[in-house]
Each structure stands twice: as structure tokens, then as C-alpha cells.
Amino acid sequence: MSAASKTNMSNETAELQVQGKSIELPVVVGSEGEVGIDISRLRAETRAVTIDNGFVNTASCFSGVTFLNGEEGVLKYRGYAIEELAEKSNFIEVAYLLIYGELPTITQLARFESSIKAGQETPEQVKQQIKLFPKDAHPMGVLSACLSSLSAYYPELLDQDLSADKKDRIIGQLVAQVRNLSAYFYRASQGKDFVNSDANLDYCTDFLNMMFEGQGKIDPEVAKALNVLLILHADHEQNCSASTVRLVGSSKANLYASISAGVGALWGPLHGGANQAVIEMLQEIDKDGGDYKKFLDKAKDKNDSFRLMGFGHRVYKNFDPRARIIKKACDTVLTKLDIKDPLLDIAKGLEEEALKDPYFVDRKLYPNVDFYSGIIYKALNIPTNMFTVMFALGRMPGWIAQWKEMIESPSMKIGRPRQIYTGETDLEYQAISDRK
């Protein structure tokens, strides 16, 4: 069922007065009861546009992929609660759910896994390309470049209107290649040989094996924790990177280019770089002697510039539902690996103190998914600059799902925001000799 078919036109309208002209705008109600005002006729009838800096109050599309209620702390994929999926499902099954709209049958899941395995062979030229990057290059730049470069090797997948078979092929390939490219560059940055994918391993175990050459001996509990982490990162409604994938894809750019653009958007420290900022904060506290209570006091001091990273969330006004789930995975990893690391001790101390400190409790500044994911990656010995790549690994199915939903919608339009011009007017050209 399409997203639009579960959207109801309300009997209500919103009346807007613009420079003496009145217009009635339809009120739309989503399947979870969220309300929107349809302003698609506004400019045509009044010559006015709305202003919404950062699009924080603007719905750019109808979507049936992910529902998020920040006030209640709710996150659902295709109608399924994130808590249930994290407990009962696995990353590849959730990827299918997001991309194709329903939980797969045994046959459908086997076909999807086959398409991933069929797309797991990375072109040799791309492997050489990875080796040519400086070892200290940022992995997100490498990932974006390599995903985009895949388009050079599969011209048959660049059609503006892909057949269903070709869509399935490129989808499976991208789910496989984001894993391969991430692991290959990590190995290259460490001066180590590549470890190729092993079709006999599940997705998360395979990835860890490609990273650390575990020869299939990756601890199942650690692989399970990574599996949960990727599920929690798989989609998050119309965030910056998902919106970027949609915007680029709306021009009918190929999927490689659209996903590469999403990686670039995720790279930013205000989006995917948050878990990296958590570890950098812990390092700062450690260098200062490790007194995390001192830094909690600094965070409460409005005259102090210090910010407590990994606490609170822009969208969730209550507890981040993903944080409750990932905390269990984090505890499992730390117990299983029995790692002695002062940064992890500081993190545990911050968590314990903040959860009982009235200042943070009253303001609902709870540890979020970035806080715990950063700790897990640190425990797994994943370098800090790889954290955002791990985010991209999990987010690939969501990006694909958002792109697929958009291009298959009969109402798709190229994204083209409006603006209010505030520059100079009616200037006359002057010869360069007359300019001061």
C-alpha cells in the first residue's frame, strides 16, 4: 500500500490571509495522526512562499518508510516498533523490510541475500583505487568517492528508469559494497592486505572478519551487538542525509550518485559525526585527569563553553528509544571483551552520574544512541575516524528505501526549494576602470 493511500484529507482547512488575499489550504492527516497543511497551491494563488529555516517544520514528502514521534520517544520501521525488530529480527531482514515494504518470506529473504552475494565482487580497479588514497585520508571521503566510482563499471545500471530486476541488482550490490569498501579502506589504512567477503558468514560477522581477519572466529555476541546497532541506524525519517539522497535522486541521477551524496551529508559533525564527538570529548576529559564529575558541572554552567556530547537529541524530547536498546548491546560488548580502557571507565561514570543528576533528568538529557555507539566502536578497536562510516553501513538500507519510494511515486517532482531574495537590486554595470 502506498504512503499516499494511508493519508487522509481532513474536513478541516487552514485559512491564510496574505496581503489582503484569502486562501483555504487543505489539512492532511497521516496514518499515525500527524497533521500537515498542504501549501502546494500557495505560491500559484498568492505569489507567497513559506519560510522555514532548516526545513524543521516542513514535510517534503509523503512516506511510508519510517515513523518518528520525538515527543513520545517512538520509532517504527514500516509500522514495526524498533524495540521488536532489534530483539527478534536481523539487519538484512530489516533492510528488506525498509526497501521492499514488508517482512520477507523465507523465499524472498533468500533471494535478497543472493542478490547481496551476487553484488559482493568489488571491481579490481576500485580495490586499487582504495590503495592509492593516503592512509590518513578520512574514510568518509574514500567511501563517497568509491561508491560514486562504481557507476563507471556498471553502465547498464545507470538507466533513468530501471527495470525491477536491475533495481534489485543495484540494491543488493550497494548493500554488499558499502561493507566491502569500508573494510577494505580500514585494512589499507593499517597497511594490511584485504580480506574478501565470505559468503558462508552472516553479514555482520562477515564485516567484522573482513575488518579484523577473525577467520570466522568472531564472537557471536559481539556480532549480535553490531547487528542491533546497524538495525538502530538503518533509517531515521527525513534527516539530512536521507533528504539529500531524495533531492539528488529527484533529478533522476543514478543511485550511485544519490547514495554518494548521502554519504557526504552524513559526514558532517552535526549529523553522522556525533559519535566521533563523544570519543573526542572522553579523550578531553581523560587528558584533564579523568574527573568526569568536574565536566558534568562544567556542562551545567551556562557560562562555560563545554558541551556534553552524546546526551539529549534534537528530535527526541524524551528518551531516545534506540538508546535503551543499544545500552544493553553496549553492556554485552564491554562484558564480553573485558576491555580495560580509561575512556570507557569515564563513559560509564558519565552515564551513571547523569542518569541520577536532577539537572540532566529534569531536562531529559539522557545518553543517546551516539553515546553508546561510540563506546561500542571504541571497544571493538574501530578507529574514531571510522565511526561515521559505521553509521553509513547501517544507514544504506534507509537511503535506498527513501530513494526507491520516491522514484516509484507517480507524483515525484524534482526538488526545487524557493527562497526570499535579500540582495541588491537594479545595479548598473560599470567598466572596470570606473570601479572603486
Q: What is the DSSP letter of 3?
A: T
Which amino acid does the sequence have at 124?
E
| First-last CA distance in the chain | 64
Return the residue matching grid coordinates 526545487. 416
Side-chain-side CA neighbours of 362 within 13 Å: the count stands at: 4
Q: Can you count the helices (H) and strands (E) in the chain?
A: 18, 6
Question: Which of 378, 281, 383 has its CA nearest to residue 337?
Answer: 378
Distance CA 180, CA 196 (A): 8
Q: Exposed, middle or buried: residue 321 (CB in 10 Å: 0-12, 13-18, 19+)? A: buried
Question: Which of 272, 268, 258 has its CA nearest to residue 150?
Answer: 258
Q: Mention every residue, 6+ apart, whose C-beta is less than 8 A from residue 386.
A: 139, 182, 186, 377
**Known catalytic membership, residue 198:** no
Question: Which of 403, 416, 405, 404 has its CA nearest to residue 5?
Answer: 405
Distance CA 320, CA 107 (A): 34
Q: Exposed, middle or buried: residue 188 (CB in 10 Å: 0-12, 13-18, 19+)? A: buried
| Count of CB atoms situated within 10 Å of the CB of 350 | 26
**Known catalytic membership, residue 370:** yes
Q: Which of 168, 236, 313, 320 is catalytic?
A: 313
Q: Exposed, middle or buried: residue 53 (CB in 10 Å: 0-12, 13-18, 19+)? A: exposed
How would you label 203-227 residue by residue, b for 16+ Cβ within 10 Å and e otherwise?
Answer: bbbbbbbbbbebeeebeeebbbbbb
Residues with catalytic annotation? 313, 370
